[in-house]
A = this chain, B = another copy of it.
Amino acid sequence: MKQMSPKIPIGKLALLVSSMTEDELEPFSDQLKDVDYCTGKAGSMNMQKIIAAVETAAKRNHIIVENVYRETHALYHAILEALNGVMRGQIGAGDMMRTVGLKFAIVRGSPYEDLEEGEWIAVAFYGTIGAPVKGLEHEAFGLGINHIG
């Protein structure tokens, strides 16, 4: 069986888009031309609201096709995987955290040389997360990847 790593690293691009300033992203502008992507913000730690924010952004920016469930399904599981990284496996995570600001990036493209591998989607979150009692916070990242399209 063939052995093949991603040619276009949609995961890395999603991580960079979610965490970099426009200036910092400049050197990646060429790579970003090979994919579809968009960004958005989620200001609450309520899981339903975060998922809805990402799905809405993906549909408004035509990253996924609105009326096809399989596209929403692919995105949904990529979001869940990314949230696992943000929450780091802690119980009832969403209920126990207080986010001050989370930026997300959605990247869709064809990472593999072989055209049969088709399109994939990456979701990345970057931001700061704090305890529910008002206070300070530290950074958190999450990345999820899925086949789509």
- Name A residues whose Cβ lies closer than 8 Å to a Cβ of B: 1-6, 9-12, 15, 19, 24, 27-28, 46-48, 51-52, 55-56, 66-70, 72-74, 76-77, 80-81, 83-96, 100, 111-112, 114, 116-118, 120, 122, 124, 126, 128, 131-145, 147
Contact = CB atoms under 8 A, between A and B. Distances in A.
A116 B68 contact: yes
B5 A137 contact: yes
A113 to B, nearest CB: 11
Contacts of A93: 91-92
Given A48-B95, A69-B112, A94-B95, A145 B135 contact: no
A73 B136 CA distance: 9
Contact of A85 (B94, B100, B143, B147): B143
Contact of A19 (B15, B70, B89, B117): B15
A124 B140 CA distance: 11
Contacts of A80: 88, 90-91, 96
Contacts of A3: 100, 134, 136
A117 B70 CA distance: 6
A138 B111 contact: yes
A132 B48 contact: yes
A122 to B, nearest CB: 7
